[in-house]
Structure 1
Amino acid sequence: MTPSTPSESTPVPVVRPTLVTPIDRIDREEGAPRYVAQAIKGSESARQQTAEAVYSQALRLAQTVMEKAQTSEEITGREIHQTIDDIIRELTYENSELLNFACSQVVEEGNSTFLSAKLVNKTILAVEIGIGKKMNKSKLFQLGMASFLSDLGISQVLDVINKNQVLTDEDWAKIREIPYKTVEILKRVPDLDQVILTVAQESHERADGSGPLGVKDLQQLDEFSRIVAVIDVFEALTHDRPHRERLLPHEAMKTILEEGSKFESEVLRLLIDRIGVYPVGSWVRLSNKEIAKVVGSNPGQPLRPRAKIIFNEHGETLEEPLLIDLAKNLSLQVLQPVSDEELKKFATKSS
């Protein structure tokens, strides 16, 4: 489902049953601040409705911010704060539908909208990693802001980004200038936390020294920069760009792991743990030949996600989708991912 865009004045609705306990607390037994959420899970439709509203509003905001960056209009951090808070709230309440939007194709490609989606998707994925690192609310907020604003320099090289052909060496040279252009834009934002500028400068660094700054020791980089570096690559690989088609999520995971020495191993571990080998929104064939859509991950068991069975072994749509947790139902396992082309065949067969 493609999120609709709410009006400028419409607040993001929160459709959820009664919440229990504050969402910010200190876990004294573990001796570390934790940002946790406990809630009675609402219906699937309620979670999707809330996630759709949050994603839509974030997408609209990102479009506005990108346009301001392109035209040198003033950007204020205040206009972004509520959106970051909304994303943190939904992810700490384990609303996997928001991850579904971030990991799936939910906007039309071939125009500047995909750049806005890039900002939003990176923010959602980065915050999810931050939750996995047990960051408190303050750090999650900083991480979300840093991720959201880390690539505004793209607005200055749209001629390259929107090319629908293989990029040349000259094009890549312009892309490598994005961090510097981003920093120049962010310097005009009043009262901006220094860490946001730092992430904009550092998040394209790699352990092989191929980044713009040539840094090889990743421990010299800010913790947020090391997170955004991995998330940026994963988001780019799993979404279409004008000059190439996207990879399926498991293919993107494989690609990143093959180049794992370029990134911090702890962040890679959390990417697999929190997002899963089969991220939310992926389609998979189960060992009983049925086709299911992944609706949630199981931290610590990346190969055994939660899924919703949609098609039976003959490719026919079930009257009622069946929710299944592969971490609990050990008689089933993921056999293989389902490609977009194969999925279209099932949809056509069932229509």
Structure 2
Amino acid sequence: MTRTLEIYTQGLHLAERIFDQVKRNENLIFAEVRDYANLLMQNTLQSPDDFLQYSIRSTPNNFLLAHSVNCVILTSLIGQDLGYESEKLEILAVATLLHDIGMVKMFDLVNSPVKFSKKEREELEKHSVHGAEIIDQLQDIDSSVRDAILQHHEDDDGMGYPSHLKEKGINELASVIHVADVYEALSHPRPYRNAMLPHAAIKETVDSKQRFNRRPLKTLLTVVSLFPLGTYVQLNTKAIGKVVKVTKTAFMRPTLQILVNHDGRPAPDGMLIELV
């Protein structure tokens, strides 16, 4: 098992324990949460390409597990590009790992294979408040963690929830989690729908730009690009390649490893091209 996979898998197991502890009304071991969030954040910043490739994964039986870990990977990279110092990145990572903790008592609803009714949607929208209430029970935790969890569904245009806050009234870390949360959700399957292709998820997120703080939204584009690492692309020649490298200065021109030639035959190992 690679170190990247080991850390990623550790996060899935921790997320499962966190949700189980809250479901049983047990107190969270916050030191464990903090230490893992910091570990994942630091390793993501050291090996961004490796962790971004794992962030396209999902956990079908409980999507919240992978979602929580994937969002930490995304927000860590966004936060770094925004110039956050280490202490702020640590707080962001903790808040991101716990941002959907309020869904713990809504598992049956969250995992429903059909689209939510209006009443169910209203119930689901209470999860950010429930999450903040869970955090209120913990000691020695930065208040920004609570605020970020409470506000991570507030939209810049005031149409979010639970308090319809606008722009500068929204916690800064919440605005970072918000854009990562939406993109990650769109690009991964849910019990009631299939995943969007990454470029479609990016387009959907950008098309809803009035909802988001512009800085983290713009940074998301440079972090994941229109062609995220590990995704597959079919060229107009019919050749098929896998995205193996993306640079921040040319995020619309990734490097592909060609797997299948235009004639349908396997490509030679190591055949790389850069989109232009």
Question: Quick check: TM above 0.5?
Answer: yes
- SS across alignment from 2:249: coil
Q: Which moved more, 1:153-162 or 1:77-86?
A: 77-86
1:67 aligned partner? 20
Structure 1 stretches of 4+ moved >3 Å = 213-216, 286-289
CA distance in 2, matches of 1:252, 1:144: 23
1:150 aligned partner? 99
CA distance in 2, matches of 1:161, 1:136: 35
CA distance in 2, matches of 1:322, 1:198: 48
Gaps of 5+ in 1: 5-48, 327-331, 334-351
Q: Does 1:310 align with 2:259?
A: yes
Identity %: 26
2:233 aligned partner? 284
Q: How is 1:220-299 mapped onto 2 (pairs within 5 angstroms)?
A: 220-286=169-235, 288-299=237-248
Q: Which moved more, 1:210-219 or 1:238-247?
A: 210-219
2:85 aligned partner? 136
2:51 aligned partner? 98
Q: Does 1:83 align with 2:36?
A: yes
The answer to whether the Cα contact below 8 Å between 2:75 and 2:180 also exists between their aligned partners in 1 is yes
* Aligned positions, number: 276
The answer to whether the Cα contact below 8 Å between 1:291 and 1:312 also exists between their aligned partners in 2 is yes
Alpha carbons of 1:289 and 1:90: their partners in 2 closer, same or farther (altered >3 Å)? farther
Q: Does 1:209 align with 2:158?
A: yes
Q: CA RMSD in A?
A: 1.7
- SS across alignment from 1:293: strand
- SS across alignment from 1:309: strand
The answer to whether the Cα contact below 8 Å between 1:130 and 1:140 also exists between their aligned partners in 2 is yes
2:129 aligned partner? 180
CA distance in 1, matches of 2:254, 2:115: 36
The answer to whether the Cα contact below 8 Å between 1:250 and 1:277 also exists between their aligned partners in 2 is yes
CA distance in 1, matches of 2:42, 2:142: 21
1:52 aligned partner? 5
Q: How is 1:316-335 mapped onto 2 (pairs within 5 angstroms)?
A: 316-324=265-273, 326=274, 332-333=275-276
* TM-score normalised by L of structure 2: 0.94
Q: 1:123 aligns with which of 62, 66, 72?
A: 72
Letter in 1 for 2:8: Y
- SS across alignment from 2:168: helix
What's the CA shift for 1:288?
A: 5.0
Q: How is 1:183-198 mapped onto 2 (pairs within 5 angstroms)?
A: 183-198=132-147
- SS across alignment from 1:157: helix
The answer to whether the Cα contact below 8 Å between 1:125 and 1:231 also exists between their aligned partners in 2 is yes
What's the CA shift for 1:208?
A: 2.8
What's the CA shift for 1:64?
A: 0.6
CA distance in 2, matches of 1:95, 1:245: 26
CA distance in 2, matches of 1:72, 1:308: 48
What's the CA shift for 1:116?
A: 0.9
- Normalized per residue, the structure richer in helix is 2
1:219 aligned partner? 168
Letter in 2 for 1:307: L
Alpha carbons of 1:106 and 1:167: their partners in 2 closer, same or farther (altered >3 Å)? closer
- Normalized per residue, the structure richer in strand is 1
Larger of the two Rg values belongs to structure: 1
Gaps of 5+ in 2: none
CA distance in 1, matches of 2:216, 2:107: 30
- SS across alignment from 1:208: coil
Alpha carbons of 1:134 and 1:208: their partners in 2 closer, same or farther (altered >3 Å)? closer
